[in-house]
Amino acid sequence: MFKITEGKGFQMTFENGWTVSVQFGPHNYCENRKFILNEDENKNQSLSSKDAEIAAWDEKGNWYQFENDTVNGWASANEVAKFINLISKFDKLKTFM
């Protein structure tokens, strides 16, 4: 399943029950962190970024744990792709708590 999140990123939920979040808008850990999104001025503007914030959780709400946090910021496109691939291959019962 795919989901757009507040027009600044997306989520993907896999058959294994894990969801990956990729966010690259205002307030996320990316180059757009301090960008001010004004709906009237930016109504038809697309948002792009050289990096993104990534996170993942299972269907029970257990979050993937990075080295120091449950989110990882300023991830490159290659890092995002590797993370999505990693999460998509998790066993349905695998959790990181």
Per-residue pLDDT tens digits for 72-95: 999 999 999 999 999 999 986 555
Comparing 57 with 43, the larger pLDDT belongs to: 57
Interacting residues of 10 by C-beta distance below 8 A, sequence separation 6+: 2, 3, 4, 21, 22
- Quickly count helices (H) and strands (E) in the chain: 1, 5
Per-residue pLDDT tens digits for 38-56: 665 555 567 899 999 999 9
Alpha-carbon gap, residue 85 to 79, rounded angstroms: 10
- pTM: predicted TM-score of the whole model, two decimal places: 0.86
> Rounded to an integer, what is the distance from CA 55 to the centroid of its chain?
5
pLDDT value for 97: 46
Give how far Cα 63 sits from Cα of 19, 23, 48, 68, 95, Å: 9, 16, 26, 12, 8
Q: Domains of the chain: which residue ranges? A: 2-88
